[in-house]
Structure 1
Amino acid sequence: MIDLSHTENQINCVTNFQDLVTTPFHEEMNAICWKRNLIGDFSEIIKKVEVNGNIATLDQEQLIELQLSEQGQLARKILLNDLNVLKSHGADPTLNVIKNYERDDVFPFFPTDVYSFHVDRSTIPVDTFLCTYYGESSDILPNSQATQKILVPEIRDELKKLYQGSEEGFESFLTEYFFDLHYLAKPKANPINLGVGHLWKLATDYPKSKVLPCIHRAPNEKIGQNRLLLIC
């Protein structure tokens, strides 16, 4: 179940792929969810994929070649369909089996990994699509419940110490190293979990966008339980 009790008009739910890709973002709404109850055994697919590092990418040919049970085949059919409809839409989806993402410890006071609340940026109008088929799922956060980290005085002071350059170049430094993309949840904020099986479209930060970008983060994975994630 998706808890939509604190969305502040942020989320719009649809019932099919066509509405997902054609419904525009507007005003506070910067996340659209195609709610689905998927059938099939997605965990079987994960078990068939060897993950040598932290993440293994599963392409369509590899997916088709997997020897699966009837329930695994049902799951594969859904994955192939999602990949194909997104490609037909012009997106470039990637299917990943994830143990965990790399943690960023370069700047201990300011991690910039995907476990931090952040927004995606693009130079062209484009949306982020994602679906968790198995394992822990991502969170999003209403923009009104977040503060851009670079605006927090204590963090800003630490960033200036790190920068050590002229005042006029500071803002460019923040953008160049993606510090401006990260956010802190305000006290009593209510993150919204995206759930399993639902295909989401999230607004990104790009020039002349009419809505605020959707703030989101990757979940902390459970030890011994890999995630199956489609993202583009």
Structure 2
Amino acid sequence: MKVEFELIRSRRKSISITMKYDGGIIVRCPLRMKNDDVIKFIQSKSEWIMIKQQEIKEMQKAKVERTLENGSSLMFLGKEYPLEIIINELYKKTNITKTEDKIIITVDIYDKEKIKEELKKWYKVQCINVVTERIALYQKYFRDSPKEIKVKEQKSRWASCTYDNRILFNWRCVMADINAVDYIVVHEMCHFEYKNHSKEFWNSVENIMPDYKIRKQWLKVNGIRMEF
């Protein structure tokens, strides 16, 4: 098989491979790692690459494109909410509210791209609020705390932790069930001590969250539903 990938060299101690939502591959490695060693690593992961790319193809076939019109379904903390769009020319500033049974957006004009961008902004605010609260809940298990918490657009991962303990969350995290959100939070906080996915790292995750594999599987199965 022929494998194309994006190679990112940085100040890190180990090599890792990430599969993006579209099946693209990102390989991250130490600055001075030899190209031959990078190739050998990718070859050792060939079976995993094939399996993951096939899974993505199957998910893409089942993907339902969200049209962002009245009645469209949006997720928030694992629950589906119908979208209600209200057009009011007096509302120059978009307003978004979530009730018990729907998400309501009020805009001055029906513009699908504007609605999409405004919803993303709203989700980002909700996400930072939720993950900040969950980090505070789990902080008792960790000696270190995050230097910074940010929410951004990330296509290939739910979150990431930098070498100096800044956590970057995908805004779509807040669409996930709260148990899955907690897994993402604990996963990234465990990177404070382990900057890799070693056995010690996963033991650390399991000590805090014994059922983490179930929560991780939920994300794998439902991740395709969290896009628009």
Higher RCO structure (Cα 8 Å, ≥6 apart):
1
TM-score normalised according to structure 1 size: 0.24
Larger proportion of helix: 2
TM-score normalised according to structure 2 size: 0.25
